[in-house]
């Protein structure tokens, strides 16, 4: 009997565990380790943050689902990997965990594995910017509890506007290298919509602040999209949407300190500036989960398994290159660790080989550029192909991987809601193919313009709402869940 241990139960980890168990059946063991008792559909946290969905509409408890699937669930945090076995207590490869479950907090255990899938997702690194995040002076929508807190704060601001007060909203990224601009972009539009439907536009000043060189960069170097028979840059697409909603913008900005009601930032030109706010939702930078690794002799090999940012090394080309010299072929396709063939990393947990957006520094030496995105659809696809490849290794002893999912050959769809309601909802829909531009294959646009398109309208909102319920259905393992694509 083989044992596969999956670390993390987000989009990539939960998807990997589901397909592993479906393929392996009861003859083999699947163990999921996650510090949270809930699965959450993160894309819908935006709607929690504007009061259009409750917390329980975007989450459900993991244990009942895993019990039904016969998956061994441990509510715990993985702390250390011993890929050659623990030098004292475990001869085979194992991982150390620390329980977070009520009644077992602090207990530790070593779990042996035949295959390990690191799908821990990111650490929300609020500490990288002084005063950033819940507990500091800004808000977040990166988790359902953060989003619920943001809605409480937003209601307070709405109440003040209804009394005639002007409120200043600052939404965007809270660090020079933060990613997930799409989530912040979507939240800005939803906040603007909630203000508009209440007729309070004249009492609101909404400003977007981002480390992007141009609007619509989204950490993937922007894109050229086909819309209405014309090819336009995402810069124009994004600016037109912000203009429609009355949102001002600050780009090429590195937020470096947040005080109560005041955000300080550096521009790409090297200027130090500040902007006042009454409400600030700023996305933090991401880092790896912070796991350590040791060999069988107890030597620290963390740097062997993980990049400096804490994300796991996989089958990518990490050799130093100038930005102009990188290629879409540098990106991983199987997500297998190069030193330990039974370890894989899915979703945000893998280390990108290079930036997609061009890294730029201010005269002060500050790097101001988005990190590559790996959330949502790519995370699910990666989790699935890892599961299928591991299943083939176990069941068929297949030496060559059948399934591949390079972001240089993978497309993605993004639906950014801009309001809520069957008749009044709105959304900007964009697809790109591939995610990582391939200038050799597509020298004119970097991507296949036939499949890189953008539209805005009510239909997009209907699609996003449908996808919310469809993916919750899939994640809960309801009938024919495996037929729903990632």
Q: What domains are defined for the chain?
A: 3-124+287-395 (3.50.50.100)
Strands 3-7 and 115-118, bridge-based pairing: parallel
Taking only Cα atoms into account, the Rg of the chain, rounded to an integer number of angstroms, comes to 22
Q: Cβ-count burial of 178 within 10 angstroms (0-12 exposed, 13-18 middle, 19+ buried)?
A: buried
Is 99 in contact with 115 (CB distance < 8 Å)?
Answer: no
Longest dimension (CA), the chain: 70
For position 208, what pLDDT does the model report? 98
Strands 29-34 and 38-40, bridge-based pairing: unpaired
Reported as type and span, the H/E element at residue 209 is strand 204-209
Is 172 in contact with 210 (CB distance < 8 Å)?
Answer: yes
Reported as type and span, the H/E element at residue 147 is helix 144-162
For position 228, what pLDDT does the model report? 75
Reported as type and span, the H/E element at residue 149 is helix 144-162
The alpha carbon of residue 391 and the mean position of all alpha carbons in its chain are separated, in whole angstroms, by 26
The alpha carbon of residue 6 and the mean position of all alpha carbons in its chain are separated, in whole angstroms, by 18
For position 397, what pLDDT does the model report? 81
Task: Write the DSSP assignment of 62-123 as a string of letters.
Answer: HHHHHHHHT-EEEEEEEEEEETT-BTTTBSS-EEEEEE-STTTTT-EEEEE-SEEEE----E
Break the chain down into helix, strand, coil percent, rounded to 5: 30, 25, 45
Q: Is 51 helix (H, G, I), strand (E, B) or coil?
A: coil
Torsion, Cα 279 282 465 380, to 10 degrees, reads: -160
Q: Which of 340, 339, 321, 341 is nearest to 331 (CA)?
A: 321
Beta-bridged to residue 170, according to DSSP, are: 207, 280
- pLDDT (tens place) for every residue of the chain, 486 residues total: 999 999 999 999 999 999 999 999 999 999 999 999 999 999 999 999 999 999 999 999 999 999 999 999 999 999 999 999 987 888 899 999 999 999 999 999 999 999 999 999 999 999 999 999 999 999 999 999 999 999 999 999 999 999 999 999 999 999 999 998 999 999 999 999 999 999 999 999 999 999 999 999 999 998 888 877 788 888 998 999 999 999 999 999 999 999 999 999 999 999 999 999 999 999 999 999 999 999 999 999 999 999 999 999 999 999 999 999 999 999 999 999 999 999 999 999 999 999 999 999 999 999 999 999 888 889 999 999 999 999 999 998 877 899 999 999 999 888 888 878 777 778 878 888 999 999 999 999 999 999 888 777 887 888 888 999 999 999 999 999 999 998
Calculate ∠ Cα 104-73-300, nearest 5°: 75
421/161 Cα distance (integer angstroms): 23
For position 423, what pLDDT does the model report? 73
For position 224, what pLDDT does the model report? 84
For position 35, what pLDDT does the model report? 97
- Read off φ and ψ for residue 457, nearest 5 degrees: 160, 180
120/350 Cα distance (integer angstroms): 10
DSSP tally for the chain: helices H, then strands E = 9, 24
Q: Which of 286, 81, 103 is nearest to 180 (CA)?
A: 286
For position 191, what pLDDT does the model report? 97
222/267 Cα distance (integer angstroms): 20
For position 85, what pLDDT does the model report? 92
For position 326, what pLDDT does the model report? 94
């Amino acid at each position: 009997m083989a044992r596969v241990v999956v670390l993390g139960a987000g989009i990539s980890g939960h998807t990997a565990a589901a397909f592993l168990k479906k393929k392996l059946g009861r003859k083999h063991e699947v163990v999921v380790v996650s510090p949270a008792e809930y699965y959450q559909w993160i894309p819908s946290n935006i709607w929690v943050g504007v009061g259009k969905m409750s917390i329980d509409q975007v989450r459900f408890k993991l244990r009942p689902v895993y019990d039904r699937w016969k998956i061994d669930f441990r509510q715990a945090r993985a702390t250390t990997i011993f890929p050659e076995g623990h030098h004292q207590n475990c001869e085979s490869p194992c991982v150390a965990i620390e329980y977070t479950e009520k009644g077992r907090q602090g207990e530790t255990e070593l779990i042996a594995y035949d295959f390990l899938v690191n799908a821990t997702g990111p650490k929300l690194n609020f500490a990288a910017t002084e005063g950033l995040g819940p507990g500091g002076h800004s808000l977040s929508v990166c988790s359902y509890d953060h989003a619920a807190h943001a809605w409480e704060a937003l209601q307070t601001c709405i109440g003040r506007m209804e009394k005639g007060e002007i409120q200043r909203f600052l939404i965007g990224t809270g660090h020079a290298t933060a990613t997930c601009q799409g989530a912040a972009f979507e939240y800005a539009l939803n906040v603007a919509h909630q203000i508009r439907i209440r007729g309070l536009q004249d009492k609101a000043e909404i400003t977007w602040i981002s480390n992007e060189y141009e609007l619509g960069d989204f950490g993937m170097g922007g894109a050229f999209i086909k819309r209405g028979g014309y090819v336009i840059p995402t810069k124009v697409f994004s600016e037109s949407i912000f203009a429609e909603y009355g949102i001002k913008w600050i780009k090429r900005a590195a937020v470096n300190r947040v005080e109560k009601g005041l955000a300080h930032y550096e521009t790409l030109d090297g200027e130090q500036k500040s902007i006042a706010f009454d409400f600030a939702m700023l996305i933090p930078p991401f880092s790896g989960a912070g796991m350590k690794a040791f060999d069988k002799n107890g030597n620290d090999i963390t740097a062997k398994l993980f990049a400096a940012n804490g994300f796991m090394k996989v089958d990518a080309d990490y050799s130093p290159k100038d930005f102009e010299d990188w290629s879409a072929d540098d990106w991983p396709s199987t997500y297998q660790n190069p030193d330990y063939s039974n370890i894989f990393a899915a979703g945000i947990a893998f280390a990108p080989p290079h930036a997609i957006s061009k890294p730029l520094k201010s005269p002060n030496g500050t790097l101001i550029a988005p990190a590559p995105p790996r959330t949502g659809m790519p995370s699910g696809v990666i989790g699935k192909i890892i599961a299928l490849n591991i299943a083939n290794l176990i069941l068929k002893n297949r030496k060559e991987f059948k399934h591949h999912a390079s972001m240089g050959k993978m497309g993605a769809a993004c639906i950014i809601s801009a309001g809520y309601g069957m008749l009044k909802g709105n959304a900007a829909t964009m697809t790109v193919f591939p995610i990582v531009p391939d200038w050799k294959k597509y020298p004119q646009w970097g991507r296949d313009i036939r499949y890189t398109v953008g539209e805005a309208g009510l239909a997009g909102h209907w699609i996003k709402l449908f996808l919310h319920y469809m993916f919750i259905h899939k994640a809960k393992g309801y009938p024919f869940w495996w037929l729903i694509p990632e």
